[in-house]
Amino acid sequence: MQKLIEKIHRKLGLGPVLEKLDEKLSSSELNTFLLELFRRKAEQTDPARLLRQFESSRFVTPARVNTLQLRQTELEWLHLVAGHGYQPLTLSPLTPLGTCSSIAQVDQNNVVSAIGLELVHKLKD
């Protein structure tokens, strides 16, 4: 990872950009910056590029499971725990950046992160 960061620094010719972003920007400012960067990158995407990514990226290919069977098993487990006094609940798909690495001690590089939707609304205002 460090070699790639160093390569990016050299490519940009701006010195230690990562350290500056980390030290100088609040989390909210960094999220706003990244949202704008992602918006610009998304503008450069066309259907052909999306199709190539879909075909080559292991992160976006459909899971090879029987969806109906999986949902049935989930439903059976939810009924089972509800019958033992537990209240099943649906969690938000979003959490603050760093949740997995600070609570579960999972390396942030092993988590697919997303920017919070509340920031999208702030940018529209």
Residue spans of the domains in the chain: they are 2-91
Does 121 or 73 have the greater pLDDT score?
73
Please answer whether residues 36 and 117 qualify as being in contact, where contact means their C-beta atoms are separated by less than 8 angstroms.
Answer: no
Q: Which of 90, 91, 108 is nearest to 99 (CA)?
A: 108
Selected residue with higher pLDDT from 113 and 19 = 19
Q: Cα–Cα distance between 94 and 98 in angstroms, integer?
A: 11
pLDDT, tens only, 59-108: 788 888 999 999 999 999 999 999 999 988 888 877 777 788 888 888 87
Q: How confident is the model at residue 113 (pLDDT cuts 50, 70, 90)?
A: low
For 20-49, how does the pLDDT look when each residue is reduced to its tens digit (9 = 90+)?
A: 888 998 888 888 888 898 889 888 888 998
46-58 per-position pLDDT tens digit:
899 888 888 888 8
2 or 116, which is more confident: 2
